[in-house]
Amino acid sequence: MKKHLILTTLFLTSFILKAQSGFNSEDLTVTRQDLSTNYFAKDSTANAVVLYEYGNSYIDKDNYKLYTEIKKKIKILNKKGFEQATITELEYHSNKGNEVVKDITGATYNLDGGRVTKTKLEKESIFEEEYDDNYTLVKFTFPNIKEGSVITYSYTIISPFLFKYKGWDFQDEIPKLYSEYNTSIPGNWEYSIKLIGYQNLYDKWETIRNNCLSGPNGSYANCSESQYIMKDIPAFIPEDYMTNKYNYLSRIEYELKTFRGFDGRVKHYTKTWDDVDKELRTDESFGRQLRKSSVSKELIPTEISEEPNLLKRAESIYHFIQENYTWNGEFHLMKDVAVKDLVKKGTGNSGEINILLHNVLEQNGIDVKPIILSTRANGFPTKIFPVLTDFNYIIVQASIDGNTYYLDATDKYMPFGELPYRCLNDEGRLLDFKEGSSWVSIEPKSSSNIIYHVKLKADNGKITGTVNTAARGYHSLPRKKSYYGNPTAYETKLLDQNENIEISNFEMKSENQYSNDLIEKFDVEVQLNEVADRLYFDPFLFKFFSKNPFKLQERTYPIDFGYKDSFMYSMEIDLGEDYTLIDLPESKNYSLPENSGRVIFTSTNNNNVVTLLLKIDFLKAKYEPGYYPYLKEFMNLVTNFQTKSLISLKRT
């Protein structure tokens, strides 16, 4: 009776879940409801949805190869989803063996005139093509695809490369209702297992199966068997202010740590940071390059090397490298790095330039250490164990008079002590070959900002005035490149950017291209828009945000600005005796949770002098996904303040 009750309850729960979604997400079986339901309520923007996904990886007891069985069922919701009907898989090849994709089967299901039809995937639709020296692309496209089709397919991957245990992507560019991955790993192979991303597992279980793998002379191994399940996985949709998407896609990855043979031999694959430090110290393209003092000896002019102030000496060396050596746009760290070639040619990759910077600073009495990191586009480096291939970049840490500076000389406009935006990717690994390496934060300590001070006066029917503006930190860099690259073109672009403003008497106040800020001053004459007997004035002559960058229904990954950010716009207009104020935009404030950001908007009128202030502060460099709805509302307010805040006047 009790067993019957449990089964009944499970059946009812399953039935309810099916009814709520309209789809069968329990197996590959295609139901009439799968075909007739053409709307996905949880994501109205979805073009297709994975209804069911299953994976099973195990070591074959006869040939010791890794088998991975994959099954999948996908609903095509509209024509944009047709691309999901083309499936690709990569086969890896090396001189040690080949991966093989085999037993491919599939079918397209449609509802035609109330009748369910099935069109099988034919062998002629499956083909291979060479992808590169190590990979072959296996590709197949389903026939008879229509809006509303459901496709099912399965295949098996056979791999001799047990150091590459098959990972599993739970999250993808389309939503998934159900994704399950099963693994069986003999005790001979020990892997580090990483669960990456921001989606939670719906269920997980582990068990031990005895005698799953046999060896010679009666030896055997037990297997650790695991099952991982996720449900209702949202699509991953890229948006502004993010690093590499693979930092956030929910998935499982495996890294082989140790292999233990049946004959008693043991091989360790995962290294410690002590091992890696020793390897880097002796590497021909890295450690030895850091010690090649003869190459960079006597490069620096005497007036720089003999500068008594250490900070000024370091700054002068930094600017000397910036001015005399050009980055070729390539990233190299552990290979193709030759400081000698850089000195000879005057151009080189990022590793060569920053290693030269390190060497020259060290030769001139500056305490320096290298930091290796992964750039924003390259993804986060693994932290639980060292994986050198995760790193693609080197910068320099300089310690001077108790202060720490991070340096990168690849950009000729980068101020001393600041890093290119591409480097702002959480943490880097500081290499100290005497004391041992360690993780260090490379998040900028100071906030970047843009400031506009606008002072206007109405006189004889004209509104004229002066604008003072300053861009600091990361906001100054594109402006500096534009101005110092071509001052005439920069001024022309400024003059042409707003048809209702005439700009004249432009002045550049910054000292040079190495300044931490870009300060400008110019005069303006503003045109008013007249409707009936009213005149309308847009107080935001210059806008920080003209549209909200956050548009997703849900964002499942952090909002990563890279640095703390601040914007301020103040305007004062003396209406004098020419105009009378009719209406002002309403003052309003808004704060993000935990006071992690704020927007302040005020407008006042005092004796016909109108003052307006907009202050925007992002007090964190990175916000977790839970902040997204608040940031979305925050940016709605910011854009509305700048695009809908008209001041209405009438002539006196």
pLDDT in tens, 101-156: 999 999 999 999 889 999 999 999 999 999 898 999 999 999 999 999 999 999 99
**Which of 365, 431, 435 is CA-nearest to residue 399?**
365
pLDDT at 21: 59
Strand partners, 458: 463
Q: Which domains does the chain have, with CATH numbers?
A: 23-268 (2.60.40.3140), 278-441 (3.10.620.30), 448-651 (no CATH)
**Which of 497, 645, 460 is CA-nearest to residue 571?**
645
pLDDT at 336: 82
pLDDT in tens, 452-478: 999 999 887 789 999 999 999 999 999
pLDDT in tens, 567-600: 999 999 999 888 899 999 999 999 999 999 999 9
How many angstroms separate the CA atoms of 571 and 524, rounded? Answer: 13
Pairing verdict, β 347-348 and 326-327: parallel
Whether 404 shows a pLDDT value over 80: the answer reads: yes
Q: Which long-range contacts (CB under 8 A, 24 or more apart) does 80-85 make?
A: 80/47, 81/46, 81/47, 81/48, 81/147, 81/174, 82/145, 84/47, 84/48, 84/151, 84/174, 85/141, 85/142, 85/145, 85/149, 85/151
> How many Cβ atoms from other residues are within 10 Å of residue 607's Cβ?
6
Whether 294 shows a pLDDT value over 80: the answer reads: no
Whether 9 shows a pLDDT value over 50: the answer reads: no
pLDDT at 70: 98
- Cβ neighbours of residue 569 under 8 Å, at least 6 residues apart? 451, 452, 454, 540, 542, 544, 612, 613, 614
Q: Tell me what the mean pLDDT of segment 538-551 comes to.
A: 94
pLDDT at 218: 87
pLDDT in tens, 183-237: 999 999 999 999 999 999 999 999 999 999 998 888 999 999 999 999 999 999 9
Query: Which residue type is seen at 587?
Result: S
Query: Which residue type is seen at 547?
Result: K
* Bigger pLDDT: 528 vs 99: 99
SS3 assignment, position 146? coil
Residue the block writes with tokens 């949880």: 42
